[in-house]
Structure formats: structure tokens, C-alpha cells
Amino acid sequence: GPALLFVKTSQGKEEGRRFYACSACRDRKDCNFFQWEDEKVSETRLAAREEYNRNHQPSFTHRQNVDRYKNFVLLPLSKRRFCQECQQLLLPAEWEEHLDHQFLCDITITQLKSPSQLLYPLENKKTNAQYLFADRSCRFLLNLLVDLGFRRVLSVGTPRLHEMIQSRASQEEEFSVRSLLLDIDFRYSQFYTEDEFCHYNMFNHHFFGGEAARETCRKFLYEENGERVIMVTDPPFGGLVEALASSFKKLMAMWKETEKEGHDNKEMPMFWIFPYFFESRILDFFPSFSMMDYQVDYDNHALYKHGKTGRRQSPVRIFTNLPPNVIVLPEEEGYRFCTVCQRYVSSGNQHCEICNSCTSKDGRRWKHCVLCKKCVKPSWFHCTNCNCCTLQKHSCEKTDVGCFVCGKAGHKRSACPSLSRT
């Protein structure tokens, strides 16, 4: 899809040279697309780029994959194979092409209903970072959505939540929740129809299926018979918050367009799952959001696990525009309700009388610094040289080094006023 516009800056210079690069891959090894904004591109180079794009298309279209799936489930168990190297369901006529590949045999319907466990997770931190919800977190999220009365879930980059909803809907007649998965991983098109999955890039709001896929999403967001919609998204943590926020606002605008009355002053309900240290960046773009204390954990991430202590806890939280008091967190996992803040907090998050808030972000009990006029991490101490709280063993910032972009002191590169917010 469309590239993003970046700026290459040099220290001390206010203006940098702008360039286009891939929106999804930040590693040039994965996508080497690079073009200066003011550069004229030759016809030869354009043709070469088109040829490259054509050669890197998936083997089958989404429609072909749907037809292949229908044929695959009709096969007897002994003839159902999945190629692990190509990450593809195989029909008997294709076995010969994959003879020297590793494959799984006897693929059951249960496995087909759980593709996130059948497919290899894409774990390149700079491209996909496909970490999958642990069963505990997935069940909590789904139960919470049901309790809050949502009957449609727009699952943006949350394949495991999507498949849990699909699985429950097929097994339980009274379960009325529906889900639409928007994801950049085209492999899921092998398991879901066009009404269940759209190939989508959340960094540039690009539907690979064109207007038909966009219309599928628009129809799903239309709230008929009072079926409330919520968007749940779990982006790669290395992704640019600005780009993600831009796409999410466009999805919200799409929801607003579906109903002329009633949506005027409202935002589409949303859960944005992201590490707590991005709180200020998210609130810059969505001031109505607040961060919940619930720790989201992942099956295939070494560190982001529930139940660990100190800095080893999962830093991943839920940011939402729903009222905090309606998000009920499980007391058996150590969460309690703060009557002053009117929200559930972790047991270690003690209410500060001076800040008049439960101030901890990481689950530990924070302490109030009178000089900083705020609560800080328990391992931090006030440094008179830096005039702020920081780690005891640190290099004092009382130096001439300032912002990397403009060279001035008092702010970091990410907050430099010289950089255009657009």
C-alpha cells in the first residue's frame, strides 16, 4: 500500500530532507523501498518497481483460498496436509511440489479453527512482531466485551481473539458475538471468508482488497438491531504511534458515517492494547482515553508474562475511551476497586492523597516526591543536579547536549517543535 513520509534530520539543523519509505517494514532488508520526496523517478525505475510488486504477490487470491479451504475440509483426515515451509494448506494434487518440505499431516477441524496455533508467528520486531494473546488474556477480553454488551468486534491485528469468537459462535447457539479480522498477515485468508477477514495494513489504513474489502468493513460497522460495535487492536509495539492513530481515526470516521444520527459527538468504543510507557503519546492523539491496570500477557513472548514481579511484569495495558468504572478487573488476580478513582487498579497501586490518584503504572507501589510534585518509581531518587527524580546510578544531564534535531536544551528529539506533527 501507500508509503509513509518521513524526515531525515541532522543535529542542529531545523529542516531535514523528507523521504518516502515502507509503512509496514522498518528494516530495509524486509523492504528496500526508499524515495526522496523531491526526487524524479524514471520510467525504467517505475517499471522495475511494478515488476517487483507483481513477483511478490501471494500465490492465490483470497477468493481462491476460500475455494481451496472448501475442498480441503471435504478431504478425509489422512489426506489433509499443511506445508510448514510454505505455510499453506495442500490439496493432494500439490503434494509433489512440496516433497522436500516439512509438513503436518491429519489436520483436524479443531486445528483449522485455530489457525494462529497452526501458523508460525511472524516475530520480526521491525516488521510484524506477531505476539499472540495468552489464553488467560484472550478469555478475559472476550468475557469483558460480552459483559459490556458488545455484539460485534472489529479485531485489528488480534487473530487469537478473532478465532476465539469464531470458535465460540460455532459451538454455542446462544453466543451472538461476531468478529471481523483486519490483519496484514495474508496467510489467514486460507481459513476465513471475505466476510470474516480483510487483508489490511494498520499503518496506512490500506485495504488490499480495494473497495470491496472497505465495503465489507463499513457494513460490519453498521449497528443494526442495537448490536454495539467495539474495535480491539494490538499493534506491533515498535510501530509509530502517529501512523497507527491516523488509521484508527479513519476507522472511527468510517463507523461514524454508518449512522447519521446518534454518532455525532461520540467515538467508536475502542481497546488499544499497548505498553504503558506509550501512555503520553496515545493521549496526545486520543485525549478521551485512559489506561487500565490489567496486565495483558502473550504466549510467545519471553518477558510479557502475567504473574512475574518487579520489572519482569508485562508492561502491556489496555487503553480505552470507555468509562474506567465499567472495566471490571478480576479480583482473584489481585485487582481491587478504588472508590476515589472509581476504577479497578492492581493491588500494589496505592492511592496517593497528594496526587489524589492511583499513580503506579507498572504494578509496583510508587512514592511521592515533594520536589517533583508527582509520584515516581520506588527505585528512583531526587537528583539536585538534574532537578528531577531518576535512578541513583545515572549520568547527570547538566551538560551542553540538547535536542538532536535543533540542538536546544529542555526537550528530546521526539518532542522537538521543529518537527512537523503531520
- Mark 52-80 as b/e (b = at least 16 C-beta within 10 Å): eeeeeeeeeebeebbebbeebeeeeeeeb
Residues 6+ apart with CB under 8 A from 197: 62, 180, 181, 182, 183, 188, 189, 191
Mean pLDDT of 388-398: 79
How would DSSP label each residue in 86-128? Answer: TTEEE-GGGGGGGTTS-EE-S--HHHHT-HHHHSPP---TTTT
Give the confidence band of 312 by pLDDT, cuts at 50, 70, 90. low
Convert the pLDDT of each residue in 6-41 to its tens digit: 988 776 666 788 999 999 887 778 888 899 998 898
CA separation for the pair 150, 153 (Å, rounded): 7
The region that residue 302 occupies, defined by phi over 0 for left and psi between -120 and 50 for alpha, beta otherwise, is alpha
Beta strands in 213-257 (DSSP E): 228-233
CA separation for the pair 335, 39 (Å, rounded): 55
Give the confidence band of 418 by pLDDT, cuts at 50, 70, 90. low
Give the confidence band of 279 by pLDDT, cuts at 50, 70, 90. very high
CA separation for the pair 290, 321 (Å, rounded): 6
How would DSSP label each residue in 332-357? Answer: GGTEEEETTTTEEEETT-PEETTTTE
Q: How many CB atoms lie within 10 A of CB 243?
A: 18
Mean pLDDT of 227-251: 93
Q: Select from 422, 421, 403 the least CA-distant residue to 413.
A: 403
Q: Which helix (H) or strand (E) holds 291?
A: strand 290-291
Residue 13: the pLDDT is 65
Identify the burial level of 388 via C-beta atoms within 10 angstroms of its C-beta, where 0-12 means exposed, 13-18 middle and 19 or more buried. middle
The three-class DSSP label of residue 380 is strand
Rounded percentage of the chain residues whose pLDDT exceeds 90: 54
Q: How far is CA 6 from the centre of its chain?
A: 21
How would DSSP label each residue in 303-336? Answer: S-BTT--GGGB--EEEEESS-GGG-PPPGGGTEE
Amino acid at 195: D
Give the confidence band of 92 by pLDDT, cuts at 50, 70, 90. very high
Answer yes or no: are the C-beta atoms of 44 and 52 closer than 8 Å: no
> Any idea which residue has 461514524 for its cell?
256
Give the confidence band of 402 by pLDDT, cuts at 50, 70, 90. low
CA separation for the pair 235, 128 (Å, rounded): 9
Rounded percentage of the chain residues whose pLDDT exceeds 70: 86
Residue 400: the pLDDT is 45
Task: Please state the φ and ψ torsions of residue 24, each to the nearest 5 degrees.
Answer: -95, -35
Amino acid at 327: I
Residue 56: the pLDDT is 85
